[in-house]
Amino acid sequence: MPVTYHRSGATGVITIDNPPVNATSQAVRAGLIEAARAFAADESARAAVILCAGRTWVAGADISEFGKPPQDPSLPDVIAAIEALPKPVVAAIHGTALGGGLELALGCHARIAAPGTRMGLPEVTLGLLPGAGGTQRLPRLIGLMPALEMITSARQMGTAEARDLGLIDAVASDDLTDAALQMAERLAGQPPRRTCDLPAPPADPTATETLTADLARKLPGQIAQRAAVDAATEGLALPFAQGMEVERAAFRALMDSPQRAALIHAFFAERAVAHLPQIKGVDPRPLDRIGVIGGGTMGAGIAAACLLAGLDVTLIERDAAAADTARATVAKLLEGAVTRGKLAAPARDAILTDAFRTATDYAALSDADLIIEAVFETMEVKHQVFAELDRVAKPGAVLATNTSYLDVNAIAAATSRPADVIGLHFFSPAHVMRLLEVVVADRTAPEVTATGFALAKRLKKIAVRAGVCDGFIGNRILSHYRAAVDAMVLDGASPYQVDRALTGFGFAMGPYAVSDLAGLDIGWMTRQRKAATRHPRDRVPVFADRLYELGRLGRKSGRGYYLYDGGKPQPDPELEPLLAQVRADLGIAPRDFTDAQIVERTMAALVNEAVRTVADGTALRPLDVDVVMLNGYGFPRWRGGPMHWADAQGLPQILAQIDALSAEDDHFWQAAPLLRDLVAQGRRLAELNEGPKP
């Protein structure tokens, strides 16, 4: 029984117990209706408390029911039944009150929260709007604009802010249940204060239009936020019951939208990657003391991420000056955390004094549990570092490389303990980006893999298992679709048009703006490394080499594809003549591409290479690719990731595009055999997320 009713003195106690997060599954909804009836019929009960067992109050609707036929009773009906009760009901909230969970609390007649409780309406992150009265009750309780801000941002708020806004009535100073029972006793005998009976706040067309314009600018293409604003404002102009109907209709429309399906796929995919079958039941090794080698861009970011998660870090640099620079960089990153309110200044000072050390002698790593190398990207330097680690690291220490592309098996071979070696591929900036590719080499021990996943959890990152290959999952796919994009620029497209077309599709940044951010030297070095093994028919982005040779390294030199006068990227009038010269030198007659062609070719290349990563086991499943591209490469979340998107488009269509393009270049455009097989069998990529490969 996920919902029970009992009495404590003159107060009815309704307990929801539906682990892990007390989601309002059908059984919970039905149980709440039953419990509400029991309370109404219990003449000895003068008021009631609803509370939750376990780690949290109701964290929302049961997302796993979405997309399936709805089952009665609906959550709005359950909340309406509770709100209509003739005796007061107190919500006793702890943990997270999210979505339908917060809406349930809004339908109660008073709310008290434990310290540390977080409250929010995250529905828009799932492509939905609050569909159980949130758009109608919340504005009545806290005002129109605070409510719309909360709904459209999906922001979670703490108890102090919630109390100031009137979202909750009190914060429990001691035991939550005792405090809620006392509140119920105080309210007993009084008429219930129903949120639905509060007057609707007046419309504020100017503020609402400003918000809508902001949303259109910041979240192009996304429909849920706008629908939430419309439902709230339209509904509030009507009596409550009709407002609820407006909300319901808008909720149903969103429930049927592809964006909802994509965002919920992303939600579950991000949780599925953590359940790696190969390490089920395998205990990770300890990871309290972390070693980091190299304090450049990545090493400093990794050190900061570990320190912010409460780990002890020793960072090794080449000499004292480099060690001092690294220390200063780490201190600056921690300062940023203080400025953003993520870390208290005294805690920052304690970290820098007690938890963080820099050194130049590898002997300082002798007691480290896990050592992450982030030195220059050449096999020679990596070999030197790993040979040295083999000498100093304690037995059982995990030895990790942050290499972007290099062969982790070859790096492991520099040690006498390849079972302890793993790739931990962080993304820049490492203390911010949530993705971590855990690169499992041929001889990596399962408990070492488990330690990589445990580190990600500790750092609140999303770990995705990847196999060894050039670039693992993300960079390998990126290299391939970058080649398609560069080919279009060689053939006549402008980098600005490419960036515009792909941000129009929803990418966070266009590929040329990304190049400028990373530095054009990075791409140049990669091309140098691959030059010897390049296929004669691979097309080289000669224009990128020219820019590099001109010292146009991107943002850091003030000029790359764009100009950075005052920091803001501006198109550079000198770029087009440079491109024209390159095309003339190569004997290419430039042609035009439409934005749609740019998107089509980029996505066809991306999906094709992604399917290959699944086929050869680099990625375990299509959903692993989606999680990587969503969290490391700015792929639009509301499209669910490239594999989800490909299924939604239809694999036959993508295969037909690739086959058509192979008439133009049959070296680059070769359909992945797995893609062809899936189309022949009438199957979707999503089927590979569950069952065996065809």
Q: Build a one-symbol-per-residue string for 252-291: x at contacts with ligand CAA by CB under 6 A, - elsewhere.
A: -------------------x--------------------
Nearer to ligand CAA, 98 or 439 (CB): 98
**Contacts with 49 (C-beta within 8 Å, 6 or more apart), sequence order:** 11, 12, 13, 14, 89, 90, 91, 92, 177, 180, 181, 183, 184
61: partner contacted, choices ligand CAA, ligand NAI, none (Cβ within 5-8 A by kind): ligand CAA
Pick from 221, 103, 269, 178: which is nearest to 623 by CA? 269
- Where do we find the tokens 């091309």? 527
Active site residue 687: no
> Which partner from the list ligand NAI, ligand CAA, none does 295 bind, CB cut-off 5 to 8 Å by kind?
ligand NAI
Of 64-103, which residues contact ligand CAA (CB under 6 A)? Answer: 64, 75, 96, 98-100, 103
> How many residues in the shown chain lie near ligand CAA by CB under 6 A?
23
293 belongs to the binding site for ligand NAI (CB under 6 A) = yes
Helix (H/G/I), strand (E/B), else coil: 624: helix
Catalytic residue among 43, 65, 83, 103: 103
The answer to the question of residue 235 lying near ligand CAA (CB under 6 A) is no
Three-class SS state of 467: strand
**φ, ψ of residue 46 in degrees (nearest 5):** -100, -15
Provide, rounded to whole angstroms, the least separation between the CB of residue 433 and ligand NAI. 9
20 scored as a contact of ligand CAA (CB under 6 A): yes
Q: How far is the CB of 510 from ligand NAI (least distance, A)?
A: 17
In the stretch 101-120, what mask flags binding to ligand CAA with x, by CB under 6 A?
Answer: --x-----------------
Cα(246)–Cα(131) distance, integer angstroms: 10
Q: How many Å apart are CA 17 and CA 606, to the nearest integer? A: 44
Scanning the structure block, which residue is given the tokens 């349930």?
104
Q: Exactly one of 43, 65, 123, 447 is catalytic; name it.
A: 123
Nearer to ligand CAA, 399 or 462 (CB): 462
Q: Is 381 in the site for ligand NAI (CB under 6 A)?
A: yes
Indicate which single residue of 131, 146, 243, 301 sits in contact with ligand CAA (rule: CB under 6 A).
131
- Max distance between CA atoms of the chain, in angstroms, equals 92
Q: How many residues bind ligand NAI (CB under 6 A)?
A: 23
CA dist 111 to 57, 104, 172, 265, 512, Å?
12, 10, 10, 33, 51
Q: Is 615 helix (H, G, I), strand (E, B) or coil?
A: helix
Q: Is 59 exposed, middle or buried (0-12, 13-18, 19+ CB in 10 A)?
A: buried
The stretch among 122-130, 181-189, 516-524, 626-634 that binds ligand CAA (CB under 6 A) is: 122-130
* By CB under 6 A, residue 62 contacts ligand CAA: yes
- Contact status: 298 vs ligand NAI (CB under 6 A): yes
Site membership for ligand NAI, residue 422 (CB under 6 A): no
Neighbours of 325 (CB within 10 A): 16
Catalytic-residue membership of 103? yes
Q: Are 393 and 366 in contact (CB under 8 A)?
A: yes
Q: Are strands 3-8 and 11-16 parallel, antiparallel or unpaired?
A: antiparallel
Residues that bind ligand CAA (CB under 6 A): 20-21, 23, 59-64, 75, 96, 98-100, 103, 122-123, 126, 128, 130-132, 271
Residues that bind ligand NAI (CB under 6 A): 293-299, 316-318, 322, 374-377, 381, 385, 402-404, 426-428
Known catalytic residues are 103, 123
